[in-house]
A and B are shown apart, each in its own frame.
Chain A
Amino acid sequence: MANRLGTIARDLGRMLEALAGLILVSVLIPLVWREWWVVPGMVLSGILPLLVGVGLSRTFQDAEDPGRLHGMMIAASGWFFVAVFGSVPFLLIAWTAQLDPGVLNVPVRFTTTGTEAYSTLAAFQNPLNGFFESMSGFTGTGLTMSVHEDVLPHTLQWWRSFIEWVGGVGVIVLTTAILARPGSGSLTLYESEARSEKIHPSIVSTVRTIWWIFLLFTFFSILVLWLAGMPMWDAINHAMTGLATGGFSITDNSIATYDSVAIDFALIPIMILGSIAFPIHYLILRGDLRNLYRDLQTRWGFIFFGLGTLILTALLFDQGFYQTEAIVVAGIVLQGQAATLFQTFRFALFQFVSAASCTGFQTAGSLGPGWSPQAQLTVTFGMVVGAAAGSTVGGIKLIRLLTLAKGTLFRIRGVFYPASAVRTFRLNGRALSTEEAAQEFEEAAIITFLWVLFLGLGAFVLMLSVPMGPDGFTLENVLFEVASAQGNVGLSSGITGPGMPTITKVMFLFNMWIGRLEIIPVLVLLRSIFVSMEVYE
């Protein structure tokens, strides 16, 4: 037990050291924006995980390399504590504004009761709200406790975007890239963070290549958004959260704030880039574009986005939700039904890609009460499934859905063959033996079962804790919100906010946590804690 704790504590310490680095680097932002009053809070927020991290990693530096059990416990506890320590900047900056020490010259808008800036920042005086924001950021969810994101200090706007950007690739991937440790331990940890794909034989090289790709795409995305008309600060933040399929925005109404066709269509390829697996990106950058249709997940990703968009467009057009008299697109004036169809397609495409890529950007303002239940459930299905494993998305992942679908067909067809027949199960170009196929099928079935189980549990808790019925929320609103939290998406039907009950916040925190790690590592951690506490034998 002591050995196990030592290994966990050492690697947890390394993750906290990496987190401290992220916070301390972010001190540049208040210096650039001249937000001097947040600097002490940011520095203190960085020193805290640094001390704890260095203390743990030094004390247990000789601990054993992690095994599979350790790996899962490190991933689960690491993500939990990174979110805890990552919430400190929210807490300290909110309390700095509240206490308003004269020497720091806190801007009046943050200290005057009744202003939007005050109430938005004051929400983070509650540590649970900061923890929620931090967990939502690191897991790439995007559900927020900020009522008016546009009035937050630039430092907190950056911190929200930055943690989503890092969390999209993974905290362990970051730690491995920076604090490289050759050997089997890194691979175990990497796999525990819901990743299995390898670009190179060495895991350290793989994670560094992932960061190389991610940085290159980030710069490209920033410039694309800026060209589409976003101000540079907005472009930087939205490129980071869009590519990481996180979905935090620095504007009050997400992407709907801009009401720009160009920005909507510029963000779609960025969200799609984030939902393609990194090894495929690598092959494409090496000149092999054919992987866009050769790779099973990528091909089905495009089919999934296309089909979902068509269904959603048809549902919303039938509902007549986006009746438009006239709209100008690229200098062409569309009128009447053509204008309505274009607007419906525009919002359906954006919202379905945003949901299925698990980004969570919103352009359609009435996802909650306005859209028909069928339209909401179509988007919910997109959020539950997600896109490619090995990318930055959440959800069950397309590969598992395809494995289940193909596996089910394989089983049914098997009945028509003699018992002695030797059959091969083909998946993504691989020929699998019966045992291998059974293992793939079992893994996909277990994750899907757990996903649906916790979706149901979350929905149950939500239905008990938020107002339901004609004056409250509907079942489809509840399923939408829980699927959004657990799928690490961030679209909201209007339930999430600082005023929601504590039990709902705790449930969503749990949903986001298990969703990011694909559930099993968290269950392994909880079981280990319960066993060690002798809750059960």
Chain B
Amino acid sequence: MHLEKIPFVGTLLAAGADDTVFDILLLLGPLVIVLITILGRTSLTVLLAVAYTSVFVGYIAYKSMATTESKT
């Protein structure tokens, strides 16, 4: 599927790093923020924010290791 064809955000997604995980994080970001705004600070929302930030940082580290291994 061509990313450009997705309504509203297609052009932006197509400009990214050609990576589905980052594109998903980009799309989920505002939804997570709105959800937290509505629900407030609860165990669930804290868990959600921790999950989001952990996936972001963890995926960069994983991708870096995978790239380094493939080059060696």
Partner of B33, one of A216, A236, A284, A285: A236
Within B23-72, the residues touching A (CB, 8 Å) are: 25-26, 29-30, 32-33, 36-37, 46, 49-50, 52-53, 56, 60-61, 63-64, 66-68
Q: Which residues of B contact A205 (CB under 8 A)?
A: 15
- Whether the Cβ atoms of A220 and B17 lie closer than 8 Å is no
Q: If A219-B25, A287-B64 touch, does A232 touch B33 (CB 8 Å cutoff)? A: yes
Contact with B along A202-227 (1 / 0, CB 8 A): 00010011011001101110111011
- Whether the Cβ atoms of A227 and B64 lie closer than 8 Å is no
Q: Which residues of B contact A286 (CB under 8 A)?
A: 17, 19, 63, 67
Q: How far is it, in angstroms, between the C-alpha of A149 and the C-alpha of B11 when the chains are bound?
A: 36
Q: If A209-B16, A285-B19 touch, does A216 touch B25 (CB 8 Å cutoff)? A: yes
- Whether the Cβ atoms of B29 and A220 lie closer than 8 Å is yes
Q: How far is it, in angstroms, between the C-alpha of A290 and the C-alpha of B69 when the chains are bound?
A: 13
Q: How far is it, in angstroms, between the C-alpha of A219 and the C-alpha of B24 when the chains are bound?
A: 12
- Whether the Cβ atoms of A284 and B60 lie closer than 8 Å is yes
Is A288 on the interface with B (CB-CB < 8 A)?
Answer: yes
Name the residue of chain A whose CB is nearest to the CB of B26.
Answer: A216
- Whether the Cβ atoms of A222 and B33 lie closer than 8 Å is yes
**Closest-CB distance, B33 to chain A (whole angstroms):** 6
Partner of B52, one of A211, A218, A223, A287: A223
Q: How far is it, in angstroms, between the C-alpha of A289 and the C-alpha of B63 when the chains are bound?
A: 9
User: Count of A-B contacts with CB under 8 A?
Assistant: 81
Q: How far is it, in angstroms, between the C-alpha of A287 and the C-alpha of B12 when the chains are bound?
A: 20
Q: Which residues of A contact B56 (CB under 8 A)?
A: 220
Name the residue of chain A whose CB is nearest to the CB of B62.
Answer: A287
Where chain A touches its partner, the secondary structure class is helix
Is A60 on the interface with B (CB-CB < 8 A)?
Answer: no
**Closest-CB distance, A496 to chain B (whole angstroms):** 32
Size band of the B side of the interface? 20 to 34
Which of A215, A223, A226, A288 has most B Cβ within 10 Å?
A223
- Whether the Cβ atoms of A288 and B67 lie closer than 8 Å is yes
Which of B14, B16, B30, B50 has most A Cβ within 10 Å?
B16
Where chain B touches its partner, the secondary structure class is helix
**Closest-CB distance, B37 to chain A (whole angstroms):** 5
Contact with B along A226-247 (1 / 0, CB 8 A): 1100001000100000000000
Name the residue of chain B whose CB is nearest to the CB of A222.
Answer: B33
Is A425 on the interface with B (CB-CB < 8 A)?
Answer: no
Q: If A219-B33, A232-B37 touch, does A287 touch B67 (CB 8 Å cutoff)? A: yes
Which of A208, A284, A287, A290 has most B Cβ within 10 Å?
A287
- Whether the Cβ atoms of B63 and A227 lie closer than 8 Å is no
- Whether the Cβ atoms of A227 and B53 lie closer than 8 Å is yes
Q: Which residues of A contact B37 (CB under 8 A)?
A: 232
**Closest-CB distance, A60 to chain B (whole angstroms):** 26
Within A158-215, the residues touching B (CB, 8 Å) are: 205, 208-209, 211-212, 215
Is A322 on the interface with B (CB-CB < 8 A)?
Answer: no
Q: How far is it, in angstroms, between the C-alpha of A218 and the C-alpha of B61 when the chains are bound?
A: 19
Q: How far is it, in angstroms, between the C-alpha of A287 and the C-alpha of B67 when the chains are bound?
A: 6
Is A282 on the interface with B (CB-CB < 8 A)?
Answer: yes
Q: Which residues of A contact B33 (CB under 8 A)?
A: 219, 222-223, 232, 236
Q: If A220-B56, A232-B33, A232-B37 touch, does A212 touch B12 (CB 8 Å cutoff)? A: yes
Q: Which residues of B contact A289 (CB under 8 A)?
A: 60-61, 64, 68
Partner of A208, one of B11, B36, B60: B11
Q: Which residues of B contact A212 (CB under 8 A)?
A: 12-13, 15-17, 26
Q: How far is it, in angstroms, between the C-alpha of A211 and the C-alpha of B30 when the chains are bound?
A: 15
- Whether the Cβ atoms of B67 and A215 lie closer than 8 Å is no
- Whether the Cβ atoms of A282 and B15 lie closer than 8 Å is no
Contact with B along A274-312 (1 / 0, CB 8 A): 000000001011111110000000000000000000000
Q: Which residues of B contact A232 (CB under 8 A)?
A: 33, 36-37
- Whether the Cβ atoms of A282 and B36 lie closer than 8 Å is no
- Whether the Cβ atoms of B53 and A215 lie closer than 8 Å is no
Name the residue of chain A whose CB is nearest to the CB of B30.
Answer: A219
Which of A205, A215, A285 has most B Cβ within 10 Å?
A285
Query: CB within 8 Å of A: which residues of B?
Result: 11-17, 19, 22, 25-26, 29-30, 32-33, 36-37, 46, 49-50, 52-53, 56, 60-61, 63-64, 66-68
The 7 listed contacts between A and B (C-beta, < 8 Å) are A209-B16, A209-B17, A219-B32, A223-B32, A223-B33, A223-B53, A227-B46
Query: CB within 8 Å of B: which residues of A?
Result: 205, 208-209, 211-212, 215-216, 218-220, 222-224, 226-227, 232, 236, 282, 284-290
